[in-house]
Structure 1
């Protein structure tokens, strides 16, 4: 690789992908929706910002010329869990945007790409160890999960009609890490924890991963992976109590101990949805979030045997990830100093 094009470049995964590429002396063209966020995120780093949006690939497609690799980290995600219906923009961004981006990259001469998929495209039984072969059916999937399933289908269709194109797929879990200027749901969760705004221990389980490790998985996948293959980068299976303990350890803030039952969350979410309908403002907990939490509980055990065997990838300790994320927020004025 000499020049890489990165979509979603100011996001949590995107910015860490940009930094990992720069460390390897690879030139980066970064697709950003906001030059202001790009300036905040990258400062004086030698990154070429391209203002654009996946809803209009044609408007920026000429900037793909001269690149020899594509890292597609962008997706519509966060707002889809903040109340209301979002299927159209999910489909237009995650599905059609992926299809049009791959074609534009191919037309520009790019022949190697990584598509960032999600653990959302996989499903197993409760407590089962889930690997890349265990696909989630489209039927019954929530809108975001469905959009990621369909975007993978677009990747496979493209590969079938363009046999000289290489696209590997990387499947992250719930990402934390430095540079989360959004903040994403994980960053907001961390900030709410240290500011003691969380009501108690929420039900559910999660697969927690460092965005920097996912960035490394992407580079390994485009370098050593196989085209058309999925590679898990899900991280560590944890319940909320375990996450709270790790956060308390690195922050010095005592963890809530009261358990919040799922039915109580459903009632809270119904109230928030009503508020959303009246005000059109995003809410903290939506009915889709609570439904997903219940359905996916103890379905977050993922096998990294394939990623370790073919890509040689590893994961740093969760406590290191949380500490680095917290320190980044402190250094950038997101919160007052707490604990360690």
Structure 2
């Protein structure tokens, strides 16, 4: 089996490539000109340079015969100063890749399938538990990350209507090894006593390994054109941060920071960024995400893909911690 992977230099991409290689797949992994290919090669993938901005670049990068294309690349910025680039990366990039893949599959001797990593954010902010039957409410460009993920899905659906076989996955908050820039940042903040506060929101946390496996199962078992939500362990951010504090051996936070205060910091930071041109630590988009609840239901993925996210939150976070320590990126106190 042959796979082409975008976003392989990211942490979910590394988990997916590791599992594909373990299953005996041949993997070609796309990377940008300025990205390191060290981990791709260590995992056993063949790196190829290409750009989502260029349809021709993508057409040239795709190997002659393919079974699957896994599109994991995405821009997760939540700063309005990066909105234009985010639209280019998430929406235009997804449209270009989906077109290139549809045309490529039409020319080759056997059918292929595209698996698209979207996000629970494509459903927008909702009051209840999100399922595939929920309306996709990410229609406000002020929440641009959510907005771009919805429109990336719509771009892929345009190509599905033209004949592309594609399945869309919507993971919630992903935790696990190979993470250095997502939830792993919380380890650094707590270990270095730089945590400014604990937001009052909550989320569904899913294990990176289980999400990667769901991508492979979506290739084998998913239904064309369907969304599959990948949720996991529901927890408040206070519980999440307390668990990390225990894992790094520092005092656990005892209470949350009021939402009004977090939104106030975000508003001031946003005003300053208009002058400085630099992304602030807390943006209005981040504040909205961290002070809301994003809980979801994985029943469809469990039934149709065999998705299982049975790992307890503490074990997911321990895996992330242990990998950071092994890589020399996180130093624990002597008593940890």
State TM-score, norm by structure 2: 0.90
TM-superposed deviation, 1:8? 0.7
Q: Which among 84, 101, 104 is matched to residue 105 of structure 1?
A: 101
Gaps of 5+ in 1: none
Structure 2 partner of 1:320: 315
Could you say what the CA RMSD is over the residues aligned between the two structures, in angstroms?
Answer: 2.0
TM-superposed deviation, 1:283? 2.1
C-alpha change, 1:153 and 1:236, in structure 2 (3 Å) is same
Asked whether the equivalents of residues 50 and 60 of structure 1 are also in contact (C-alpha less than 8 Å), the reply is no
Moved beyond 6 Å, runs of 4+: none
Asked whether the equivalents of residues 35 and 51 of structure 1 are also in contact (C-alpha less than 8 Å), the reply is no
Structure 1 partner of 2:48: 50
Asked whether the equivalents of residues 198 and 256 of structure 1 are also in contact (C-alpha less than 8 Å), the reply is no
C-alpha change, 1:140 and 1:36, in structure 2 (3 Å) is closer
- The residue correspondences of 1:257-276 to structure 2 (distance < 5 A) are 257-276=254-273
TM-superposed deviation, 1:261? 1.0
Total equivalences in the alignment: 327
C-alpha change, 1:282 and 1:185, in structure 2 (3 Å) is farther
Structure 2 partner of 1:221: 218
TM-superposed deviation, 1:125? 4.8
Structure 2 partner of 1:66: 65
Q: Deviations over 1:99-149 (max 9, x none)?
A: 1101211222262010111101225752x2321121223433511111111
- Separation of aligned partners in 2, 1:48 and 1:273: 41
Q: Which among 173, 193, 204 is matched to residue 201 of structure 2?
A: 204
Structure 2 partner of 1:304: 298
Asked whether the equivalents of residues 41 and 47 of structure 2 are also in contact (C-alpha less than 8 Å), the reply is no
Structure 2 partner of 1:158: 159
- Separation of aligned partners in 2, 1:99 and 1:125: 27
Q: Deviations over 1:283-324 (max 9, x none)?
A: 211122113334xx23x2211111111111111221111011
Per mean C-alpha deviation after superposition, the further-off stretch among 185-194 and 307-316 is 185-194
Structure 1 partner of 2:108: none
- The residue correspondences of 1:1-340 to structure 2 (distance < 5 A) are 2-34=1-33, 37-39=36-38, 41-64=39-62, 65-77=64-76, 80-81=77-78, 83-109=79-105, 111-123=112-124, 125-126=126-127, 128-140=128-140, 142-162=143-163, 165-180=164-179, 183-294=180-291, 297-298=292-293, 300-315=294-309, 316-338=311-333, 340=336
- Separation of aligned partners in 1, 2:75 and 2:326: 28
Per mean C-alpha deviation after superposition, the further-off stretch among 108-117 and 143-152 is 108-117
- Separation of aligned partners in 2, 1:236 and 1:275: 36
- Separation of aligned partners in 2, 1:290 and 1:337: 29
Q: Which secondary structure does the structure 2 equivalent of 1:334 belong to? A: coil
State TM-score, norm by structure 1: 0.89
C-alpha change, 1:121 and 1:60, in structure 2 (3 Å) is closer
Q: Which secondary structure does the structure 2 equivalent of 1:220 belong to? A: helix
